[in-house]
Amino acid sequence: MKVCLDSIGCRLNQSEIEACARQFRRAGHTLVAEMADAELMVLNTCAVTAAAAADSRQKIRQAHRAGVDQIVVTGCLATLEPEAVSRLAGVARVVPNSAKDRLVPDLLQIEIPEFDLEPAQRQPIPGSRHKTRAYIKAQDGCDNKCTFCVTSVARGAGRSRPAEEVIAGVRAAVQGGAQEAVLTGVHLGSWGQDFGRPVHLKALVTQILDQVDVPRLRLSSLEPWDLDPAFFDLWQDARLCRHLHLPLQSGSAATLRRMARKTTPSGFAALVAAARQRIPGVAVTTDIIAGFPGETAEEFAETLAFAEKMEFAGAHVFPYSEREGTAAARMPDPVPPTERKARAAALRAIVAGSARRYQAGFIGAELDVLWEGIQPEPELGWRLSGLTDNYLRVSAVAPQPVWNQITPTWLAAAAPDGLTGHILRLPDSLQIG
């Protein structure tokens, strides 16, 4: 059977769709890049914002118009709105998050061992999922009660995967050729807290670095209240990528209280200062919501000033989106949608400036780049696109289509979409995507 897989939303969704890909391959099925070539489509949906939910529904409609015989929908939208999703044309099955881990075995009615044929782990998913990074699911669900967040409703209570399973996933990815593994979770920083004898995420990261020869290990989003300054001592191991994504959501203490966030602007700033002191060159990125219910002009001004002070290397800025089932959706004094968009635009402008300044600090430096995008460049060879460990996007031209290789690269100048660089040394053996 020809299967097309796609995912909308977070890195956790990407990790889960990669697991589906491994299982379909092991069962003897073929993955295809185009919906029009598929007999079966599996879509992992998102519902974190109204826009993400709309994108998910649009993707289902595209699959139906492309003539896919069976469309299987899973993920957060499928969990929150199962009846509405099931009524969309072409949908054959709706699988909630609670049953997602068994989606492929239940669909095919066979059992599929998780960690056999390890070198096959990292065959890229065709099409847009042609990635060099392996997303490893370490945790799912969330016990926080942030008033704006529908993900805890869709994903349920926090639960950690056993360390040995996570380590096996990283090891299999490396044996399959991955140069970088990314630990993912809804609330990754809570990993291990639900065990009979609670342990901290630091223990898992230490075990991975001790037991697996992974070239790069990256951590996805971490809530600031799960960390202390000692956590950043892990970065003495250079394989741990110098990138911290710490969701802020607001720079106003009053707004944070209405959001039920377990941090304050001063506490957040102190944590970032500790990270920057211990991890030279670290990229600190964040999430910010503009126009949360009750956000006054004064509170928004506090957020603007705080964002400017923090000098983020990047940020996801969202206009507030009402999500049914959350406490915030019932709060008084909603900010008009046009004002939300205007505030988001103002925040994006500030973050764009600090991101440019962060990038400029590395012009003239030599950093290792993992190349993940290749395109023919007439008369010059190949245009490459990749990432440094501190999440700088770099483009370069090379005589050969280097893919999934880490090379020392001199960062020459700023470009509209990141930095341009010159590869200082090509690898002895090339891997071509």
Q: Which of 84, 80, 95 is nearest to 41 (CA)?
A: 95
Looking at the chain, the domain(s) classified CATH 3.40.50.12160 span 2-108
pTM of the model: 0.90
The CATH superfamily of 128-360 is: tm_1862 like domain (3.80.30.20)
**DSSP for 331-372, written as a single string:** -SSPPPHHHHHHHHHHHHHHHHHHHHHHHHTTTT-EEEEEEE
CATH, range 2-108: 3.40.50.12160
- pLDDT digits 0-9 by tens, 294-324: 999 999 999 999 999 999 999 999 999 999 9
Q: 366-423 — its CATH code?
A: 2.40.50.140
Helical packing angle, 297-310 and 337-360, nearest 10°: 10
* pLDDT tens column, 360-370: 999 999 999 99
The answer to whether 431 touches 402, Cβ cutoff 8 Å, is: yes
Determine the 3-state secondary structure of 267 from DSSP: helix
Question: Which ranges in the chain are annotated with CATH 2.40.50.140?
Answer: 366-423
What pLDDT does 146 receive? Answer: 97
Q: Which tens digits make up the pLDDT trace of 257-273?
A: 999 999 999 999 999 99
| Residue that the structure tokens 């044929």 belong to | 117
- Mean per-residue pLDDT over the chain, rounded: 93
- What counts of helices (H) and strands (E) characterise the chain? 12, 18
Which residues in the chain are classed under CATH 3.80.30.20? 128-360
Please tell me the chain's helix, strand, coil percentages from 3-state DSSP, rounded to the nearest 5. 40, 25, 35
- Encode pLDDT of 139-155 as tens digits: 999 999 999 999 888 99
